Amino acid sequence: MDDISYASFMQEFYQPGIPIVFKNASKVWKAKDLFSPDWFRSHYGDRKTEVKGQVYTMREVMDMVEASSASNPAPYPILFDIPETIPEILELIKPLNLNYAEPNWLESRWFNKGHWGGATELFVGGPGGRFPYIHLDYYHLNAWITQLYGEKRFTVFPRGQEHLLYPKADDPWRSDINIFEPDFEKYPKYKEATPIHFVVGPGETLFIPFGTWHTAYSLTPTISVAFDQLNNKNYKEFVKDVWSFKKRESTVKAIAKTGYAWLAGQVCKVGDSLHPQQ
Ligand SMILES: O=C(O)CCC(=O)C(=O)O
Ligand SMILES: [Fe+2]
């Protein structure tokens, strides 16, 4: 979708919770047409990240994803927490909200980013790299994924198919179904599911509304920037998740964090009413 107005996006996609691929929302970012494996190797080659317990430099990561193949894939995803490990590039991805992902309470100082599951991350992958499972994002956050280099195939499931996807009993935000080779004996209802596959290419941005089951598969070396969004629309579900996640740690913590999240939400709601969107 190209050059949809903010108001139309909100009405036709955001409010009903329908995924959409923006063709060129990233035109407002300096990072567009700039990010590439070579660019990261030469500017931030020494920055490090950990993947499955092993530390790699950016240089090694880029070498790995360029050598990756479907038969011998590099690990996926390889993540760099942008504010923590490459804060310099924050300048190149402004405005983070692309003038569409707003309001975003995770950008307010009341919701310390990263604290609630909402981070700004660089995703790096190579051919054959599969996100390890189909899932819902934690905390019912909306996800915004901007592909800046290479092509990734995404799979999303229409709302209302959760009963066909076998959420795990101990982690109902995930399923063990392998969508590449589904085991229909074990998951017979999955036969009725209707996964939607599509490729997101350089410069394109995918909006994944909360409550959408999804996964991703890297077709080429890929670099994307992902961030999450919270506002009045997903706030109720967010607060419920804060409760249930923190409750696993302790009831006292759950009460404190949920109380805080509720209060911060009230403040942000007032903020929204003082600064209406375009
Ligand atoms: O690999 C991707 O780009 C999708 C990532 C994703 O769905 C997630 O991190 O929750
Ligand atoms: Fe996700």
The yes-or-no verdict on residue 172 having pLDDT over 60 is yes
What is the per-residue pLDDT across 31-60, written as a single tens digit (0 to 9) for each?
A: 999 999 999 999 999 999 999 999 999 999
119 contact partners, CB below 8 Å, separation of at least 6? 81, 82, 83, 113, 227, 228
Amino acid identity, position 117: G
C-alpha 215 – ligand 2 centre gap (Å): 6
Average pLDDT of the segment spanning 149-160:
97
C-alpha 206 – ligand 2 centre gap (Å): 11
DSSP designation for 116: T
What is the per-residue pLDDT across 112-130, written as a single tens digit (0 to 9) for each?
A: 755 666 689 999 999 999 9
Among 121, 123, 229, name the best residue to mutate to test ligand 1's pocket (greatest count of ligand atoms within 8 A of Cβ). Answer: 123
C-alpha 274 – ligand 2 centre gap (Å): 31
Task: Return the ligand number nearest the Cα of 212.
Answer: 2
- Rounded to the nearest integer, the mean pLDDT of the chain is 94
Q: What is the pTM of this model?
A: 0.95
The Cα-based distances of 122 to 58, 98, 225, 244, 254 in angstroms read 11, 16, 5, 28, 30
Return the pLDDT at 110: 85
Residue of the CA atom closest to atom 7 of ligand 1: 215
Strand, helix or coil for residue 130: strand
> Which of 57-61's residues contact partners 24+ apart within 8 Å by CB, and which partners?
61/124
Residue of the CA atom closest to atom 6 of ligand 1: 215
Show the tokens assigned to 126.
């190579």
C-alpha 215 – ligand 1 centre gap (Å): 6
Ligand 1 atom nearest to CA at 215? 7
Return the pLDDT at 87: 96
3-state secondary structure 224-275: EEEEEECCCCCHHHHHHHHHHHHHHHCHHHHHHHHHHHHHHHHHHHHHHHHC
